[in-house]
Amino acid sequence: MKHSADEDIVKNKMKLTFDYRRNMILDPQQSCNILFEFPRFKDVKGLGRRKPGKVSASQAEKHLVVFKKSGTSIQEHLDAITTSSQPYLLAVGARKNAVHQFFIVLDKNAIPCRSTSCLGAFDELFKAHFVFGTSYNPMLRNMYTFIQTTVYNIDVGKVKESPRVAEVRVRLLH
């Protein structure tokens, strides 16, 4: 397939290549090449083991969002990544409370978010886990599982929840 940056064409090709991409994602040897084989995913805004102990809010934030001041080279940030990590948000702005753009960082690539709000960017980040078939960061697994089962109502009763996540979800919904 020819490469195109047109969003409608890319979304249509995403639908046409779903089965092929899904097989790539499920193959550990091929899953790391998905953005190489499908580079236009980077152009479409809005996509698309140890058990951790208790995680503080500040520790969780470090695994969820990285802030860079406006004018900082995003490519330098990507080049400085030394280990493969789960997707996270890269927030760019004048200050932490004045972010003007978000990116989802995955496999040393920055995918621009459509949303400019924290909540919208997180929504896109959450969905990127499903689009690219990535697992949750172990430090954030309970939080993501809670969001998955409580907010998005995905795989309730099928996904393994920690007892605390299940308890809080049940209390909120009953």
Q: In this predicted model, what pLDDT tens digit does every residue of 79-88 receive, in sequence order?
A: 988 877 789 9
- What is the rounded average pLDDT for all residues in the chain? 83
- Residue 28's pLDDT is what? 66
Could you please report the per-residue DSSP string of the chain?
Answer: ------HHHHHHHHHHTHHHHHHHHHSTTTGGGHHHHSGGGGGSTT---PPP----HHHHHHHHEEEEETTS-HHHHHHT--S----EEEEEESSTTSEEEEEEEETTEEEEPS--SHHHHHHHHHHHHHHTTPPPPTTTHHHHHHIIIIIS--STTTS---HHHHHHHHHHH-
Q: Is the pLDDT of residue 37 over 70?
A: yes
- Residue 49's pLDDT is what? 41
- Of 44-48, 54-58, 125-129, the least confident: 44-48
* Mean predicted confidence (pLDDT) in 104-121: 93
Question: For the chain, what percent of residues have pLDDT higher than 70?
Answer: 87
Residue partners of 66: CB distance under 8 A and separation at least 6 = 77, 88, 89, 90, 91, 105
- Judging by DSSP bridges, how do beta strands 99-106 and 65-69 pair with one another? unpaired
- Residue 3's pLDDT is what? 60
Question: For the chain, what percent of residues have pLDDT higher than 90?
Answer: 35
Distance of CA 3 to the CA centre of its chain: 23
Q: Is the pLDDT of residue 7 over 80?
A: no
The pair of structure tokens assigned to 32 is 């790391």
- Residue 73's pLDDT is what? 93
Measured in degrees and rounded to the nearest 5, phi and psi for residue 46 equal 90, 15
The pair of structure tokens assigned to 26 is 């499920």
- Residue 50's pLDDT is what? 43
* Mean predicted confidence (pLDDT) in 77-97: 89
pTM for the whole thing?
0.68
Write the burial class of residue 78 (CB in 10 Å: 0-12 exposed, 13-18 middle, 19+ buried).
middle
Q: Is the pLDDT of residue 31 over 70?
A: no
CA–CA distance, 105 with 82 (Å, rounded to integer) = 13
Residue partners of 22: CB distance under 8 A and separation at least 6 = 133
- Residue 39's pLDDT is what? 76
Question: What are the tens digits of pLDDT across the range 50-69?
Answer: 444 577 777 888 889 999 99
